[in-house]
Amino acid sequence: MNIKLPLLLAMMMLLSGFTMSAQGEEDDDTESLGETSHKAVYKKNEFPSTQECVACHYNHYRKWTVSRHAYAQISPTFLAYQSTLVKLTNGSLGDFCQRCHSQVGMTNGEDIITSNKNRDDVAMEGVTCVACHRVSKAYGKITGRFPLEPGDIKQPIYGPRPGDELMRVLAMQTRPLNVHQEARHLDQLSQPGFCARCHDVRLVNGFRLEDAFSEYKQTAAAKDGVTCQDCHMGPIPGKPSQYPDMPAAVVRGKATRPARHTNHMFVGPDSSIVHPAIFPIDPEVREYATQQEWLDFDHKAGWGTEAFEESDPDESQFVGIWTDVDERYAARELIDKQQDLLKESHERATTLLRNGYGLGSVQVTNTKGDLDFKVEVRNLTDAHSVPTGLIAERNVFLQVTVRDREGTVVFRSGDLDPNGDVRDAHSKYVHDGKIPRDEQLFNLRSPFMVRNAHGGEREQILPANYSLDPLIFMRPSPTPAILFGGIREIRLQKKSIEAGGTRWAKYSVDDKLLTGKKPYRANIKMVAASLPPHLIDVISMAGFEYGLSARDVSEALLAQYRVLWEKDIVIE
């Protein structure tokens, strides 16, 4: 009885129009039971969850559950990255990162830095349905700072088309529906400017952190009217193509008339590194076991598969509910469903990357003395540079291996150190002098360059304003960015390839390395990665969610390196 009392009081206050005193007085030490319960009830209904949308919008929902948008708040690398930056800037960074990754959470006033287990369920959905469909006005590049219209599921939503079709389907119903009663048209939702809110990022000091939308505005695609949505929400990731016509919703068996169907999977270079029970988002999986119970379920060892269970496994490894073999079999069915969806997402992401990067011709330029050749690397899209977005952390590089007639390796570039880093200045093994630096490395990662105290620049892994002042904090630049074309203290050394552009990677094998056993064979691979291990090491000071260690995170990221293209050439 006592457990239900706060909720009962809150409901009575809502019905009676109860408010605090006109003067706004409250107890100095504790918040009244009534106000606490009132806030809890209101917060619960302020924004609907995707679970309230799935009944009518299953096709959109299924793809969204495995999207980068749904992963935005779950991502342990994002959480550690943000926490590290907040710490390095003495808290003055505020919710700059968080407000794009969990707009509902920040609108609800959640703590900027806290464990995900302390967050509201809707906030944990990251860039959820209401983050786009509860925005009532067109906004410019405001880096995620915009108001969402609060309200329960019955409140109006905003879409790319007028809501006449919704009204037609609602009129066919014989009893009331707990769904939004109106769909309003927001034209910007289908325009690139809508994406710019979070995909053109300016730090508080004026630093241009991400330029995806700014790049797009200068391209042939923008001139021709090809939008972000055309390539990233279409049937073929990375290419504008004819959209299929499908119903936008099915309401109690009544489908809306077929219309242009957008894909809400939003694939990209990042992939989930958490337990498959944690992501994709699936309420059935979450209801079956608690988060900690799922983390105890060793899916990689094969728990719940016939091969594993019939091998007479050691029972001491199982804890809690997993001591029951039937529970393990049932759990495996759910995990298999999750992994099928992850595989589909990974394949679409690979298609996206292959539609963006191309490996062109290979030209041998010298065979007398040293062996020289060059490789053409192309940007296959005319819509933005590649890579784009968080380009300071995107490793897209060439792996080149040259062997003689007997298979002896005479040259390598783009190979990885024992930590999984390429052999550049950030490799710990290079820094410690244990392995040589790869002087011919071709990598499209664009490093942060910071100005030293007495002239010159150096690379820096994180874009934090390391001040000479004892207090480190993010401060406005002392020089006008509009006159200098940016701030003077830090910049991105862009190595990305402009829309439709080409770069040549040049290689020279010293004649002292050549064995004379011709012909030589060169194997060339284009590799796309998300985040490098040296970044994981730097942000590990904040720790990682879901019990992951820095080694766990790095190994999971390395397992997702993709070979986009590969070529073999013979050099006589």
Amino acid at 220: A
Residue corresponding to tokens 């292959």: 354
pLDDT digits (tens, 9 = 90+) for 521-562: 999 999 999 899 999 999 998 999 999 999 999 999 999 999
Structure tokens at 499: 């829309």
The b-or-e profile of 26-61 (16+ CB within 10 A means b, else e) is: eeeeeeeebbebbeebeeeebbbbbebbbebbebbb
Mapping DSSP to helix (H, G, I), strand (E, B) and coil, where does residue 410 land?
strand
The whole-angstrom separation of Cα 265 and Cα 276 is: 17
Highest mean pLDDT among 306-310, 450-454, 487-491: 306-310
CB 215 within 8 A of CB 385: yes
Structure tokens at 149: 């219209």
Phi and psi of 107, rounded to 5°? -65, -35
Choose between 27 and 402: higher pLDDT: 402
pLDDT at 242: 87
What's the pLDDT band for 100 if we cut at 50, 70, 90? very high
pTM of model > 0.85: yes
pLDDT at 27: 39
What's the pLDDT band for 24 if we cut at 50, 70, 90? very low
pLDDT at 352: 97
pLDDT digits (tens, 9 = 90+) for 300-327: 999 999 999 999 999 999 999 999 999 9
User: In terms of C-beta density within 10 A (0-12 exposed, 13-18 middle, 19 or more buried), how is residue 148 classed?
Assistant: buried
pLDDT at 167: 87
Q: Is the pLDDT of residue 143 over 80?
A: no
Q: Is the pLDDT of residue 467 over 60?
A: no
The whole-angstrom separation of Cα 14 and Cα 2 is: 19
pLDDT digits (tens, 9 = 90+) for 59-79: 999 999 999 999 999 999 999
**Nearest in space to 295 (alpha carbons), one of 117, 557, 547:** 547
Q: Is the pLDDT of residue 497 over 50?
A: yes
The whole-angstrom separation of Cα 462 and Cα 387 is: 18
The whole-angstrom separation of Cα 72 and Cα 359 is: 31
Residue 404: C-alpha distances to residues 257, 522, 526 (Å) = 64, 9, 21
What's the pLDDT band for 469 if we cut at 50, 70, 90? low
Structure tokens at 257: 């008339």
Strand partners of residue 491: 449
Strand partners of residue 422: 416
pLDDT at 450: 83
What's the pLDDT band for 328 if we cut at 50, 70, 90? very high
pLDDT at 2: 40
Contacts of 71 (CB under 8 A, 6+ apart): 126, 270, 272, 279
The whole-angstrom separation of Cα 113 and Cα 10 is: 29
The whole-angstrom separation of Cα 183 and Cα 272 is: 33
pLDDT at 175: 82
Sign (positive or negative) of CA dihedral 434, 437, 442, 448: positive
Phi and psi of 113, rounded to 5°? -115, 110
Contacts of 23 (CB under 8 A, 6+ apart): none
Structure tokens at 80: 């550690």
Residue corresponding to tokens 């992994």: 339
Dihedral Cα 379, 385, 386, 390, nearest 10 deg: 180
Q: Is the pLDDT of residue 16 over 50?
A: no
% of the chain at pLDDT higher than 90: 71
Q: Is the pLDDT of residue 454 over 80?
A: no
Query: Rounded mean pLDDT of 253-266?
Result: 92
The whole-angstrom separation of Cα 269 and Cα 333 is: 28
> Would you mind telling me the total number of residues written for the chain in this entry?
572
What's the pLDDT band for 94 if we cut at 50, 70, 90? confident
Q: Comparing 190-194, 263-267, 483-487, which segment has the lowest mean pLDDT?
A: 483-487
Query: Rounded mean pLDDT of 495-523?
Result: 97
pLDDT digits (tens, 9 = 90+) for 382-405: 999 999 999 999 999 999 999 999
Highest mean pLDDT among 33-42, 195-204, 377-386: 377-386
pLDDT at 410: 97
Contacts of 546 (CB under 8 A, 6+ apart): 76, 274, 275, 278, 291, 295
Q: Comparing 101-105, 201-205, 378-382, 514-518, which segment has the lowest mean pLDDT?
A: 201-205
Query: Rounded mean pLDDT of 151-180?
Result: 88
What's the pLDDT band for 145 if we cut at 50, 70, 90? confident
What's the pLDDT band for 470 if we cut at 50, 70, 90? low
Mean per-residue pLDDT of the chain? 88
Segment holding 352, helix H or strand E = helix 325-354
User: In terms of C-beta density within 10 A (0-12 exposed, 13-18 middle, 19 or more buried), how is residue 406 classed?
Assistant: exposed
